Structure formats: C-alpha cells, structure tokens
Structure 1
Amino acid sequence: MYHERAGFDLAAAEPDRRRRPRTPYRMQRRATERVTLLGQPIDLVRCEEVMHHVQHWVAEGQKALVANHNLHSLYLLRRDPSLKRFYDLADMVELDSTPLVWFGRLVGLANRSFHRCTYLDWRHHFWSVANRRGWRVMYIGGADGVAATAAENLTVRYPHAVIATRSGYFDADPGSTENAQVVDAVRAFDPHILFVGMGMPRQEKWIADVYASLPDCVVFSVGAAFDYEAGVQSAAPRWIGQLGLEWLFRLVADPGRLFTRYCIEPWFLIGPAMRDIRAALARR
C-alpha cells in the first residue's frame, strides 16, 4: 500500500539518484569505534552518527545495510550460523543493548550509554530528515493493516516523506512467487530507505537472501518498529531504556513470548562472556 502526499514534487526534494554521478562513500571508523563483544564485531556509534552515515549513503545513491546486535541476536547467531551471512553484509552494526554497554565497559572497551542505538532511539531524528529531504521509505513487516496504519500516522507528522508498506506475512522462501513479488515491489518503489520488520531471525535471513536483488538503498532490520508507530505495541519510555530496564518493561507486557528471550537465552552466552573477561584481564 502506497501513501503519497498529493502534489508533492519528490524530485525537487531529492534528485533522482540514477542521474547523478556516484562516488562511493566509506564509513570512516575511529580506532575505538569497532569493537568485538561476545565474539562479534559491533560499532560504537551515536544515534546522530548513524543518521550522518545514512544521509551520505542516500546522497551517493549507495546500497548499505545497517544491522544491530543485542543479547538475543548473539544467542541466535550461536544457534544458527547461517545468520552470519547477514552480519557479513552489514556496513554498520549498532549496539542495541544497555546490558551489553555495561558489559563492554566492564571488560575495558570504550562503551558509553549514548552508544545504545536502535530505531526507538533515532526514530524522530530519522523521520525529521526523511521529511525534510522527501525520502521514499518502504516498510516490509507486521500483520495485515498494521504497517498501513503506521504509515498513515507518520504521514500526518511528516507529510513530505513518501511511505510504502507491505505485510510481512508472505512466503519468504527465495524461490517462491510471493517472495519475487515483494522484491519486485521494492524495486518498483525504488526506496531511499528500506525497513524490514519481520522478527529476528526471519528478517535477517530474508535480507541476506535478497540483498543482491534490491535496488540501491539503505536497508535496516527494525523488528516491530511500525507496530510501535501504529500503536499496537507500547514502546518503553527512553529513560527506561537508558537505565537498562527496557527488557523488563517488555517482559511484563508480553511474558509468554519474551520469558525465554530475557530469562533463559543470556545464560548461553556465559562462555563468550568469560572469554572477554579473560582477555580483559590479560590486557591489564
């Protein structure tokens, strides 16, 4: 379902990328910005730095992938090594976990609270930029009608952003007809930004499968982002996230679905955590 503001001149806000000479933009990292935590590479970036890089990628008409790591993704990666394909493609890996920020500081890394970075942290900044620049934004995910409602809500606040949505309920097998139709819809819309919110690890596997077939755009795996925008899920206040208690807020709201994620899975990361601690002690 497409949502467009009638009469808005998209070309005036964001020139056609296909008509512009393309200069590859490379994300420059400071020495302490890319770290290895629990065995996986993560970028210590602030929310405003994420938006800085995204605007450069869009301006140059460049394809890029922004991933994120939290305790759940680190657990899934150990259980399902095929997820590595997705993270190998990523140009940036956000740190989406305050407990991981704390653990990184414990083992001597440069983690700070402002490095906790995910859609709910930069959503207002992102949509402000998308509105100002007239970006085309596509979201794939959610139950039928949910993403469309989110798009309508966002269009009221950000009328110059052009938003398209597709339900996440389709056969995502690489050889299926439905999957090909979704990829064709993305190519036809030619977004500047593609949000994929089909739950972890389904969204990551789908992105890895179709990434080469996608048009040049910045791709994010964002989970239930549009569920929050549609009001079907309640987002924790950001101060709760900064205190490292967002997991508790979500657990209380949905214990049946999230008990295993928050109370069982972290125990399977003790091995890599101990290796990080031993390495920190050796450095000291």
Structure 2
Amino acid sequence: MFETTSPLRKANGSYETDAPRTSQFNSSPFDSGWQEANREVSFLGLTMQPKSMSELNALVEQGIAEGRKWIITNHNLHSLYLLHRWPKLRKFYADAHWTFIDGMPLVALGRLYGYSLQREHRVTLADWLQPLMELAASKGWRVFNLGSPKGVGEKAAAELRKQYPALQIEVNDGYFDARHGSPESEAVIERINAYRPDLLMVGMGMPRQEYWTHENFARLDACIIMSSNGAAMDYIAGTVPTPPRWAGRLGLEWAFRLLNEPRRLFGRYLVEPWYILMLLSIDYLRTGGRLKAREPRKI
C-alpha cells in the first residue's frame, strides 16, 4: 500500500513528505487548489488528469527537480475493462499520483460525458517515449526500464543511446517471478536501487506491472515511476512493428496491432469493448439518458 503522503527525495536518497493526499477511489490526491490547476475527468469508475505530451514532460521535469516520488500511469479501454474485473487494480489507480489518457476511445467517451477533451489529451508511449528520452538526455536524468523480453530492452536502449548520446539508461527484462518477496523480484529491486534512477519505467503488461509497482512502491529508490510503458521499447528495438502514427491520431492503432498480433490481442480489441458498452448502457439508464453535465465541463 502506498504511503498517504507524497514523498520528497533528499540528496541522500531518503524521502520526506509534503502535503497529505487521499487514497480513495475516484478522489483527487491533493487539495482544492491543486484540483483547480489540474482538472480531473471521471466517468465509468475512471479518474484521470488529462495532459498533452508537453504538459507530461513538464510534469516529469517538475517531479524530478523537486525530488518527488510519484507514480504516473495511464488509462485506456483495456485498463477500464480490467478495473471493473479486478478490485486489486482499483487500489493501484486510487493511490497513483497522476493518470493520463492513452487512447482516443477514452477521449470520445469523455466528450460523451461532457468533458472538453481534445486529441492532444491522448498520449501514448509510442509517441512520447523518444521526446521523453531526449529530455532525459538533456537534463542528465538516470533512466531505468523494467520490461520487454531478454535482449529487446538492451537493443532498444542501444538505439536510444545512438539517438541521444548523453542518455543514461539501464534495462532489465520483465520476465521474472514478480510475486511479492520472491528472490527474483528482490534481485530486481536491488538492481534498481543500486542505480537510483530519476525515472523508472515499468512495462510488464497489465495488470502485472501495476501490481508489482504497487506492492514495491515504498522500497523503490526512484523519483518518477511510470507504470505505463506498453510496447514502446519493443517498437524502438524493431521487434514489434510500429503502428502508423496517423492511425493512433484517428483512434485506429488497435486495428494495426490486431492484424500483427491477432492471437494475443483478439480478446482485448474484439471482446472487451462489448463489456464496456454494457457499462455505458447501464450508466445511460441509471442517469435517465443524461450522461452530460448540465453545464459544460471544462478542463
């Protein structure tokens, strides 16, 4: 379980705390002033703080500069489905400090609920990873990537170092016994803490990456922990075809991924959406057909 305060990282690697935050499902982590500056959107059990890519870069930079210890994660249709199926996952999202939108379907759903969401509020790591690594190189951040099969992370890291020679990045594959307290998991934590990353990226698939991050949060010596890496490193390494970026902007990236990995992604893209449609229908009936707010919801 996360601490109920947001830690500050000292120069010696320990943490102190600042403003208290809540950890209840669908609640804001800070006070009303924070809410005003960082509007949340909430629907179908999700709570997110929509941000553009540049705003997310600024958020990461702020967190590292101030020595915060933050979880930054995302929501998409798959996580919406899992959230309603696995209560344990709700605790992770309730305790996460920031949650951005990864998927045009959620932008569309947000608009249906009356939020003025734009295309720029959909940010996926396939687009964001390289600009983020460029920023990390320019700022001298230490980056650690946990995920991808053996050899793939190393290949992606080598490619990123070619693009950004100043980048400090280490990797560890995500194929280990992730059960809490297992010897393999303990060894991974020791390696991460020995490196003391400013930015730790965890990409081991949902909900495994969220469970591992949640269970080990207090012990991880990292400022920003991003549990939302997806297949971004696999794309960089070239082991998985990168979807056309125009497809992502149009909300069609799922179709490209399904064509390339039909067996793995069939359920996610052709079965799970029907469950979400059921949730939407129930909400529509519950509200008497009035999903939108009486007044426009600005963010």
Query: If the length of structure 1 is used for normalisation, what is the TM-score?
Result: 0.88
Q: How many residues align?
A: 269
User: What one-letter code is carried by the residue in structure 2 that aligns with 1:44?
Assistant: P
The answer to whether the Cα contact below 8 Å between 1:198 and 1:224 also exists between their aligned partners in 2 is no
| Residues 1:37 and 2:37 are matched in the alignment | no
**Which residue matches 2:251?**
244
**Which residue matches 2:150?**
144
| Residues 1:118 and 2:124 are matched in the alignment | yes
Task: Tell me, in whole angstroms, the C-alpha distance in 2 between the residues paired with 1:185 and 1:34.
Answer: 35
Task: Tell me, in whole angstroms, the C-alpha distance in 2 between the residues paired with 1:281 and 1:23.
Answer: 38
Q: Counterparts in 2 of 1:36-185, with a 5 A limit?
A: 36-185=42-191
Higher relative contact order (CA 8 A, sep 6+): 1
| Residues 1:259 and 2:270 are matched in the alignment | no
User: What one-letter code is carried by the residue in structure 2 that aligns with 1:280?
Assistant: L
| The structure with more helix, counted as a fraction of residues | 1
Q: Residue 188 of structure 1 is aligned with which of 189, 194, 207?
A: 194
Task: Tell me, in whole angstroms, the C-alpha distance in 2 between the residues paired with 1:32 and 1:82.
Answer: 26
The answer to whether the Cα contact below 8 Å between 1:57 and 1:63 also exists between their aligned partners in 2 is yes
Task: Tell me, in whole angstroms, the C-alpha distance in 1 between the residues paired with 2:38 and 2:174.
Answer: 37
Q: Residue 201 of structure 1 is aligned with which of 207, 219, 229?
A: 207
Q: Counterparts in 2 of 1:22-33, with a 5 A limit?
A: 28-30=34-36, 33=39
Q: 1:283 to 1:187 in 2, by over 3 A?
A: same
User: What one-letter code is carried by the residue in structure 1 that aligns with 2:171?
Assistant: T
The answer to whether the Cα contact below 8 Å between 1:23 and 1:60 also exists between their aligned partners in 2 is no
Q: Secondary structure at the match of 1:195?
A: strand
Q: How many angstroms does 1:55 deviate by?
A: 0.3
Task: Tell me, in whole angstroms, the C-alpha distance in 2 between the residues paired with 1:210 and 1:282.
Answer: 39
The answer to whether the Cα contact below 8 Å between 1:138 and 1:194 also exists between their aligned partners in 2 is yes
Task: Tell me, in whole angstroms, the C-alpha distance in 2 between the residues paired with 1:111 and 1:275.
Answer: 23
> For each residue in 1:218-274, what CA deviation from the matched residue of structure 2 results, as whole angstroms up to 9, or x when unmatched?
011212221111110122122111111001111111111111100100111124323
Q: Secondary structure at the match of 2:63?
A: helix
| Residues 1:211 and 2:217 are matched in the alignment | yes
**Which residue matches 1:231?**
238
Q: Percent identity?
A: 41
Name the Cα RMSD after superposition.
2.3
Q: How many angstroms does 1:141 deviate by?
A: 0.8
Bigger shift: residues 27-36 or 120-129: 27-36
The answer to whether the Cα contact below 8 Å between 1:138 and 1:195 also exists between their aligned partners in 2 is yes
Q: Residue 274 of structure 1 is aligned with which of 275, 281, 285?
A: 281
**Which residue matches 2:11?**
18
Task: Tell me, in whole angstroms, the C-alpha distance in 1 between the residues paired with 2:18 and 2:164.
Answer: 29
The answer to whether the Cα contact below 8 Å between 2:149 and 2:173 also exists between their aligned partners in 1 is yes
Q: How many angstroms does 1:280 deviate by?
A: 2.1
Q: 1:173 to 1:32 in 2, by over 3 A?
A: closer
Unaligned runs of 5+ in 2: 1-8, 20-29
**Which residue matches 2:25?**
none
Task: Tell me, in whole angstroms, the C-alpha distance in 2 between the residues paired with 1:29 and 1:117.
Answer: 21
The answer to whether the Cα contact below 8 Å between 2:41 and 2:110 also exists between their aligned partners in 1 is no
Task: Tell me, in whole angstroms, the C-alpha distance in 2 between the residues paired with 1:250 and 1:263.
Answer: 12
The answer to whether the Cα contact below 8 Å between 2:43 and 2:113 also exists between their aligned partners in 1 is no
User: What one-letter code is carried by the residue in structure 1 that aligns with 2:274?
Assistant: W
